[in-house]
Structure 1
Amino acid sequence: MVTGAARGFGLGIARRLAERGYAVVATDVDPVVEEVVSRFGAHGVVADVRDPAAHRAVADAARRYGRVAVWVNNAGVLATGPVWEQDDDVVRRMVEVNLLGVVHGSRVAVETMRGSGGRILNIASMSAYGPVPGLAVYAATKAAVLNFGTSLQGDLDLAGVPIRVHTLCPDAADTAMVDRVRDDEDSAILFSGGGLLPPDEVADAAVALLDGRRLVRAVPAHRAGMARLGAVAPSVGLRVLALMRKWGEKRR
């Protein structure tokens, strides 16, 4: 089961799982998901991750094809700018899709797989590791996704439930989500690295996490160390981020 699979990471992950022999149920709020995933034999379903009932309906659909073994919470949205300038609906949508979508999906995944075991893969972001001015709400949701995933793993371990929860934290990638904010002044920080990641590289890293017991992976790893500086020493980190933003503006 893969959410947010009409394009970007979700589409790439769904394709790779299908190539591995999984019967894949892929969801998105965009009806185009039904057509694009059918090209590699997956089953597209229109569903909104903000609705817990939608997750349960998708789980029921997935069980028609066999035991649910992998659940990928990938759906996400991004808006840039100072939080005080963002519309109420924009803020609410980011929190509900990026965080509650993962929480609701994970709850239903555990309900579905707790008897037979399985794996949950949550897609967070490099912004989960520290402050990101210009992306404050987005960064907050992704930090929450990272903490939620590791905390959920602890609960599962204590309860003896054989489910492994993985979290992937990729840097900015060349996706439609990033392209939509490319012209926004506050998106400059997204372009401060060595270049936008290819979505296929992120999808490969995501599926590779399912092969082991590693709980969290950042892509690329060296950027995670830089991002953590902002959390460990915020005053220093914010000054560094201001310089990175200027560099990102030139690259943008």
Structure 2
Amino acid sequence: MVDVAVVTGAGRGLGAAIADRLARRGMHVVVTDKDEVAARSTVDNLPGQGTAFRLEVTDPEANRVVARHAVGIGSLRVWVCNAGVLFTGGVDEITDEEVRRQVEVNLLGVIYGCRTALEVMRDGELLCLASLAAHGPVPGLAVYAATKAAVLSFCHSVNVEMRAAGRGVRVRALCPDATDTAMVRQVAGSPSSAMLFTGTRLLRAGDVADAAVGMLDSPRAVRTLPAWRGVLLRTSALVPRLAERAVPLLCKYGERRRRQLQ
């Protein structure tokens, strides 16, 4: 029986790169995106078998339709919760709709996807894309960071639940730094995105996809890219007074780099 993987938000960028890596492993990839045309384009470029589906991840029943399709093809082995949205700005500056959309897509979309997969998956892998922002204070991205921290907590808890229940499902979370994708580029014109540019460079989608799919062969439940950035953010979260002084300086550095990239 053919092994099947579902990837959400795979019409472009990181999701498309992950779908490509899974197809190279011989899996039939169900490529989902709210933009069905983009999903079909990804499928057309896969080095293997795939199916395109329009999916709004915030709709629980729509997730179930995709799951039923996946198990109709073969054995559902991997479900990747990659779909996400990003709006930058002070927490009192972004709109109510931008708050709602980030919470619904970035958090509820992951929860609904994982719950759906667990309804039909006997054993396999749930892989959720969190973010470096999950580890500490990220001014200008407070709501986004909150959703990603919640995703990371959710993955930890569900992974323990699976072990306690004796189920053969493992839950993984990948926390990459800012990646050179359309989602990041579309907010790069705003000074409120400065924290996205405080690393040595934007990560490449292909490199992040390699790390994501590589977690399927690893016992690690969480991986941060790059690891040293995760250490810095976690330290700042543990020492709030240090963060209050250091993070604004980091933002100034990020703003200089942001302007250079324009």
Residue 52 of structure 1 pairs with residue 49 of structure 2: no
Contact 1:125 1:142 in 2 (8 A): yes
Equivalent residue in structure 1 for 2:28, among 23, 26, 37:
23
Whole-angstrom distance in 2 between the partners of 1:48 and 1:64: 20
Report the 3-state secondary structure (helix = DSSP H, G, I; strand = E; otherwise coil) of the residue aligned with 2:7. Answer: coil
Q: How far does the alpha carbon of each residue in 1:92-149 deviate from its partner, in whole angstroms, 9 at most, with x for none?
A: 0000000000000010111111xx3110000000000011110000000000000000
1:49-198 paired onto structure 2 within 5 Å: 49-113=57-121, 116-198=122-204
In the aligned structure 2, how far is the partner of 1:141 from the partner of 1:111? 24
Tell me, in whole angstroms, the C-alpha distance in 2 between the residues paired with 1:13 and 1:26.
10
| Larger strand share, 1 or 2 | 2
Instruction: Output the CA distance in 2 between the equivalents of 1:58 and 1:36.
Output: 17
Counterpart contact for 1:131–1:238, Cα < 8 Å: no
Q: For residue 218 of structure 2, what is the amino acid of its counterpart?
A: G
Q: For residue 224 of structure 1, what is the aligned residue in structure 2?
A: 230
Shift of 1:39: 2.0
- When normalised by structure 1's length, the TM-score is 0.97
Deviations 1:164-214 (A, max 9, x none): 000000000100000000011110111111010011110000000011211
Corresponding letter in the other structure for 1:155: E
Unpaired segments ≥5 residues, structure 1: none
Cα pair 1:77 1:94 within 8 Å, conserved = yes
SS of alignment partner, residue 92 of structure 2: helix
Comparing 169-178 with 230-239, which one deviates more in the overlay?
A: 230-239
Q: Is the Cα–Cα contact under 8 Å of residues 76 and 97 in structure 1 kept in the other structure? A: yes
| Local SS of the residue matching 1:44 | strand
User: Could you say which residue in structure 2 is the equivalent of 1:3?
Assistant: 8
Q: Tell me the distance in 1 between the aligned counterparts of 2:252 and 2:227.
A: 22
The aligned counterpart of 1:43 is 51
Identity among equivalent pairs (%): 51
- In the alignment, structure 1 residue 242 sits paired with structure 2 residue 248: yes
Amino acid at match of 1:27: T
Across the two proteins, how many residue pairs are aligned to each other?
A: 250
Structure 1 counterpart of 2:19, from 8, 14, 33:
14
Once the two structures are superposed, what CA deviation does each residue of 1:56-90 show, in whole Å capped at 9, x if it has no partner?
00001111210100000000000000121111111
RMSD: 0.8
Unaligned runs of 5+ residues in structure 2 are: 1-5
Amino acid at match of 1:18: A
Q: Flag as ranges the 4+ runs of structure 1 deviating above 6 A.
A: none
TM-score, structure 2 length as denominator?
0.94
Q: Matches of 1:68 and 1:205 in 2, distance apart?
A: 21
Q: Which amino acid aligns with 1:172?
A: A
Name 2:3's counterpart in structure 1. none
Report SS of the residue matched to 2:138.
coil
Distance 1:167 1:22 in 2: 21
Query: 1:238, 1:167 → 2: CA distance?
Result: 28
8 A contact 1:230–1:237 mirrored in 2:
yes
Where 1:122 maps in the other structure, the secondary structure is strand
Residue 34 of structure 1 aligns with which residue?
40
